[in-house]
A and B are shown apart, each in its own frame.
Chain A
């Protein structure tokens, strides 16, 4: 090819790139937060949190410190930007959010063990239990005053951040009343039950439920996998919610194990989907955790972050906006929201798994899931 041709191609490509970059922001839909950002933090003097949190923050100066927080992007990130970050910035801190999934974060904190670059990391329950044991996360303590107000269940790993239940999302045309777990095994629905991606809390919960339907529990994986295999063929392994709820709305899928709260926004869009809190056996408890990374160079700032994140105000925002149940017993939730989330007495009705055992089985179970459920 001639040099001239290359120059020409290069020029046109450059113009193309410029054109695309110029258009990109306009092409990306800007999603507005569901609620307006809370006010009152702009000046840095007013504190509209609970007295404990305000007292804990009073007089602190974080000037020159940057806190690095690893967390999921999207709705959770928005709540943090609205509620948790402004008061810290008012005290002089800078916050750097690292968005992504918990797998990436787990890999990062273990790889950087002893010399972390991330100060706070949001993890799921089994990762936090293991991480505390392996010395990559701090065990929860009253260094964060909100610790004293947490439900006992929220102290088993790091600081429990949100409580969710693994229940059943279902097509409301097919099930006139909210189904129980056993209903998924009705031969009529064979090949129409979507599975979660494995490994993950949803899959672990589904394994535990299948074992319980056989009169066993998660310690008997043989019973569980035999029962799950009865649901084959699997129409969909869901990795994103849009796909599974669209297919459920159309009736290609009649039900799927699902974390509480996820179905609500789709229900509100007018899709024919609902969420069931099964009672026999009950939903499986899952819990997001806030972990302070051991060896953080900004521990005071990390503690302040944890206090703000676990405060009733933040926890109530989680409940009202994304239907995640609070772990702080002082958080107040309106009755209509309470019905949709893990809250109050419902906390006790959920099945708590033996997470240490489940973690130790993850590799074996992934193998079995691949071979016995996904393989044709």
Chain B
């Protein structure tokens, strides 16, 4: 090891890393510790200025308050559903893109990514006008005689899920295309030549080989869903409370900074744990699959 890692301090490397490190410390670490400290302070009703008296009360409320628990349940449910729908919609599209020639592939890629340039706000405003009670979708369905009463898309979970799926579809498609594009076509052909039908080829060859991309995409999208703010606050019309909207209400509207800090810390830890759990499960899944296959061929 000593030969590979010289004991000398690598000054040029430190010099190159310093600006980014300093920036991260200032814009991320310092506020984070401020947040951590504030989360143990005491809220004084009627003022924004908290007392610096130490308390665990904020965390007690975060974990035990029944309303908070219903917010967590709602957030997780919406996020999971939106992730599943995103996956189901993204997979065939990713497969289609992966099969194209380079030129077509890049064009399709651009089309997939293009909506992200506008940002969440613009996209959500678009959805609002489409999904409104008297918006384009309800209007079309009604004039075609398919429905008689407008469908309520806004102010409920349905609208939020539609908005989330559209916003984060690219996050699922990109890793899936990378994964699917890396599959050697001769493997699929080999399976087919050995008599497997299309369904069997897909479930036993293609899908397992695309798992790394599927898992990466799902984690990305799940995290984005859990932490989303603009989409649920606009499409939920103040009636659906999720992590983001609740944090906003407590921090910016109620100005209860100690509680919202505790909530934010909980939120960071929670999403971190979810990410760890998902990646652990997926690794365990892959390992057991490999072991099963090895057992098969022994």
A361 with B241: in contact, given A9-B106, A16-B110 (CB under 8 Å)? Answer: no
* Residue A239 at the chain B interface, CB threshold 8 Å: yes
Q: Are B46 and A362 touching (Cβ within 8 A)? A: yes
Q: Are B46 and A359 touching (Cβ within 8 A)? A: yes
Q: Are A366 and B253 touching (Cβ within 8 A)? A: yes
Contact residues in A for B45 (Cβ distance below 8 Å)? 359-364
Q: How far is the CA of A356 from the CA of B118 in the complex (A)?
A: 42
Contact residues in B for A103 (Cβ distance below 8 Å)? 252-253, 255
User: B166-209: contact bitstring with A at CB < 8 Å (1 yes, 0 no)?
Assistant: 00000000000010010000000000000000000000000000
Q: Are B49 and A134 touching (Cβ within 8 A)? A: yes
CB-CB contacts below 8 Å: A211-243 with B: 234, 236-239, 243
User: A131-175: contact bitstring with B at CB < 8 Å (1 yes, 0 no)?
Assistant: 001100000000000000000000000000000000000000000
Contact residues in B for A104 (Cβ distance below 8 Å)? 252
Contact for A363 among B102, B109, B256, CB less than 8 A: B256
Classify chain A's interface size: 35 or more
How many contacts between A and B, using CB within 8 angstroms?
107
Q: How far is the CA of A197 from the CA of B249 in the complex (A)?
A: 10
* Residue B4 at the chain A interface, CB threshold 8 Å: no
The DSSP consensus for interface residues of chain B is: helix
Q: Are B254 and A199 touching (Cβ within 8 A)? A: yes
Q: Are B239 and A246 touching (Cβ within 8 A)? A: no
Contact residues in A for B178 (Cβ distance below 8 Å)? 1
A370 with B103: in contact, given A133-B47, A250-B133 (CB under 8 Å)? Answer: no
A31 smallest CB distance to B (angstroms): 16
CB-CB contacts below 8 Å: B225-264 with A: 233-234, 237-239, 241, 249-256, 259
A21 smallest CB distance to B (angstroms): 10
* Residue A267 at the chain B interface, CB threshold 8 Å: no
The DSSP consensus for interface residues of chain A is: helix
Classify chain B's interface size: 35 or more
Contact residues in B for A110 (Cβ distance below 8 Å)? 48-49, 255
Contact residues in A for B49 (Cβ distance below 8 Å)? 110, 134
Contact residues in B for A237 (Cβ distance below 8 Å)? 155, 237-239
Contact residues in A for B254 (Cβ distance below 8 Å)? 199, 362-363, 366
Q: Are A106 and B48 touching (Cβ within 8 A)? A: yes
User: B97-114: contact bitstring with A at CB < 8 Å (1 yes, 0 no)?
Assistant: 000001101110110011
Contact residues in B for A361 (Cβ distance below 8 Å)? 45-46
A143 smallest CB distance to B (angstroms): 25
Q: How far is the CA of A2 from the CA of B109 in the complex (A)?
A: 14
CB-CB contacts below 8 Å: A1-58 with B: 1-2, 4-5, 8-9, 12-13, 16-17, 20
Q: How far is the CA of A360 from the CA of B255 in the complex (A)?
A: 11
Contact for A247 among B66, B133, B234, CB less than 8 A: B133
Q: Are A106 and B241 touching (Cβ within 8 A)? A: no
A309 smallest CB distance to B (angstroms): 24
User: A338-355: contact bitstring with B at CB < 8 Å (1 yes, 0 no)?
Assistant: 000000000000000000
Contact residues in A for B66 (Cβ distance below 8 Å)? 371
Q: Are A1 and B237 touching (Cβ within 8 A)? A: no
Q: How far is the CA of A351 from the CA of B83 in the complex (A)?
A: 49
The residue of chain B having its C-beta at the shortest distance from the C-beta of A356 within the complex is: B46
Contact residues in A for B134 (Cβ distance below 8 Å)? 246, 250
Q: Are A5 and B105 touching (Cβ within 8 A)? A: yes
- A selection of 10 A-B contacts at a CB cut-off of 8 Å is A4-B102, A12-B110, A110-B48, A133-B47, A234-B239, A236-B155, A239-B233, A366-B250, A367-B67, A370-B241
